[in-house]
Every structure is written in structure tokens, then in C-alpha cells.
Chain A
């Protein structure tokens, strides 16, 4: 089984160790990559085909039919915004296609509020060895493949 995981946003791809939060930076919930988003309002898209199993205004998890689940977190400490500035385009339990808009948000507003808008993309409960063809850090478009999850 292998699943291609796409970038949820346009921006600059970075190692997940650049995320200013130990849970993500130390891969406590799984390995992945992070995207410094372009500072313009837009939509975060689903990284995979699957079901939205967890949905918060500032983060979501999509589980694929094969089992692997991918977490996308929009900015750090954004739970404290209580949903302000985020627009949900789907509901929990919905089926989504890779590339389909999930949440509308404005990374610039997050940064202006003193928080990091960086987006960790995490392969939940995967190991580093499961992730292959990791894209090199640098500019990335929403919908570009970040890595392939094999197991």
C-alpha cells in the first residue's frame, strides 16, 4: 500500500523540525514535513483521498480507506483563536478528495496576531522509514506531492 500525500497549502516547504512546537518538531505523533504558507488568504486542501475523521477550525485529520491518516495543523497555538478567521468547507465524517478545499484561512492574520502560521503535515503513527520520495525543502504549491507513505 502506498499513499501520495499532497501539500495542503502553497508556500515554502521545510523540515518538520522547524515547527516551533515540540510535539511536531520531535515527531511525537508521527513524522512529516511543514509548509511556511504564503501570507495570503486562501484554502487549505486535503492532502489525501479519504474521510475527515477529526475537524477543528484550525486543524484536521483525513483517514484514507487503506488506514493511514494525515494530520494538517494550520499554524501553531491557533486553538486559542477559537475558530475566529477560519471557515470550514466540509463537515466531520465527509468524504474528501486529495486537493479538495477543507478550511479557508488567512495566514497573514495569524502572523499579525503573533503566532506562527506554519503548517505541519504529519503521517500519524508512521515511522520515518514509511515515508519515501520526500520532497526537498523549497517553494511548493498546494496539491504538489510532499512524500509517499508506504507500509
Chain B
């Protein structure tokens, strides 16, 4: 018996518990959801009637699903671009370690360590039409016509929740980008400066390319998060008012646990997985091509 085989065996021994958990709680339920999606199972009965692709064809005709998908796409676009832009701006401002660096870094990162429930409660208070600080502020500056129940108005609810999510997400993006900036070559920037490149050109053509890998990872995570968003919406609006903040994930939850339609919910969750997978792969391929 060789030493390398013994090492491998020990490695397998230590990996097995985690692998078992992964198989039981991730892989097996994922595979099962393919089966559930072809049944009309309500989550309780012992028998599951096979319905073929009926759940998927119903999905295509379900207005609520298209509304949820549209909300997801809004979330993906704004919820990806805004944290990236704000996080990058903040990281650039703090890159040179200005005075108060530690304080600002802590303040900007703080929202990210808060629990989603806490974020939901805080922003619920901010938006509250009775005592919320946002309406008080708007009233104070003479914009009382704009004041409203932000989470209760179907026209503003999604953006209001999205703003809370962006506030929480920016800290994460900022810290990762700030760490990435530490590896950006100062020599290259100085060379570009000597060559006459202005600030924007230095940022676009020198800094950003060196952050490509970091940006790829962050963007992919935000994209996937945008398609799967659930917790903050569940806490703040539960998909309401009038389905205005419904996303594929909240719809899946509602169908499975309120409407007792586990089969249909499985179909939605599979479509959601497929969409986020395709979007992530396409994004990464485009990035690779761009780099090539």
C-alpha cells in the first residue's frame, strides 16, 4: 500500500460526512424536484399523480409567473448594476487609505453583516407611512405630495424593497473590490499617467481590467442572487401588495406552502434554476470572450 493511497483514503474518510450531507440535502432533493414537477402532488398525499409537462405548460400561461419573472429581471438589472457602481465608487474613494479609512470601511460594510430580518424591519420603519423618516423628510422639504406608503403602493413597492437590498449588498461588493484594488499595480497607473491618460481612462483601461476576476465573481453572485431573491421580499412585503413584489422564489414558496401545489412549485423552482444557470454561464462566457 503506497503512502499516496493512504493519504487519499484519509482524505476520503474526512470528506465523506460532508459529501453525505450534500447528497442527502442538496443532490437528492434537487433530483426529486424533477419528479415532483411532473406530478400534481400537494405535499401531503402519499400518491403523486403523473401529469407530464402540464405544470410547465400551465406556467407559460400563468400571468403571475410572467409578472414574477419581470420583477426578477428588474431585480437582476438594478440589483446588479447599482451595488457594483456604488461599491466600486466607495472602494475607489477609500483605495488611497484617506483619513477615517477604518471608520468608513466599517460603516460601509456594516449593513452586510445585519440579518435580513433586521434590514427588513429597519427599512420597514423608514418607509412607514405613519412614522417613517422618509415621508417626514419629504414633508419637511415640501415634497409632501410625493409621500406615500412606499411598501403598500404597487407602483413603488418593488423599488423600495430593492433599495433596501442594495443598501445591504453594497458593503459586500465594496469590501471585495477594496481587497481586489490592493493587487492593482500602481506602476501601471503611473505609467498611464505619464502617457497622458486622464482619470477615467486610467480607471477604465488600467484599473478595471486588473479587477476583472473579482468583478466576474461579484457579478455572477449578484446575478444568481437576483434570480433567487426571496428573504428580504418575504420579510418586507411577502410578495404584495397585489403581487407587485412577487418573484419566482416567493411564488414558489406560496405555491408549495400556501396553495398546497408542490408539483407546480417544483416546476417554478426548476425554471428559476435553469434561468439563473443560463444567465450566469452566458455572462461568464461573454467575459471570457471579452478578455480573449
B is bound to A:
no
